[in-house]
Amino acid sequence: FFSSRRRHTRYIGDWSSDVCSSDLGGNPSQLRELSAELGPDLLDLHSDPDHNRSVFTLAGEDPARILAKSATAMFDIREHHGVHPRVGIVDVVPFVALDGSTCEDAIAARDRFAHFAANELGIPCFLYGPERTLPFIRKHAFVDLLPDLGPSSPHPRSGAICVGARPILIAYNVWLKDQTVETAKHIAKTIRTNERRTLGLQVGEHAQVSMNLIDYEVTGPLEAYDAVAELAPVDHAELVGLVPARALARIPRDRWTQLDLSGEKTIEWRLAERNRRASGVND
């Protein structure tokens, strides 16, 4: 996530976003190198070697630019292999309005980043948000949909970037126990709704139902987990990135461990911890 909090001094609104970067799932030394560049503005990092994908949760617009510039210089999309859909090395950069800012603020941040990526990095950018959804771009990019900014064809090394402005969503995976990918795909199709986007994937030796929970007040991690568990045995659950505190508050505490949740995995806790570190406060 990006939050527009500028360091720990003057806050001029809040937005957040995950930078989902392909080719960053299985190389610890490269991940450490990129993480070091981001410093305390890196709120969370989730990596998966089978997806070959990492989700960087960041505070501020500048870290997103730093990460995009470094990752696109470091990796080549032509050498990428992974089970998750992607259009580029820096695949998705969505900005999300948090308390203290508006959807218009997030759209403005989105547009600034897209202009930076198109003009300074030469990477085509597809915009999503009020105009269209991310799944629409996944389906139509470079088929019957041209980029909104930048070159009309993919960058030879970096591909393209989907740059968005959207409400908070929760990325959530449920791993099945002793089930096939066909079962995972069937479950994904069965439980798919407007509020719950789903994919059935083969991840290493296991089948996984991968979900984006678009409206966590309607369908949060608890409802998503239980929907899958009604149809097949579950091995474990996996939160990707962070959750808003309001989503955690809806879930009984005795389910948190099962659902891979905790107070320390909320956006609010990580932002507060970042600000404490930036202020030099240890307690």
Q: How far is the C-alpha of 56 from the C-alpha of 35, rounded, in Å?
A: 9
Residue (of 66, 279, 158) closest to 56 by Cα position: 66
Q: Which amino acid is at 240?
A: V
Cβ atoms within 10 Å, residue 122:
14
Contact 255, 226 (CB under 8 A): no
CA distance 231 to 33: 41
Cα angle 146-60-17, degrees, rounded to a multiple of 5 = 50
Give me 244's structure tokens: 């808003």
Asked if 3 and 59 count as a contact pair (C-beta separation under 8 A), the reply is yes
Q: Does the annotation count 140 as an active-site position?
A: no
Catalytically annotated residue among 80, 81, 84, 155: 84
Rounded-to-integer distance, Cα 202 and Cα 120, Å: 37
Catalytic positions are: 84
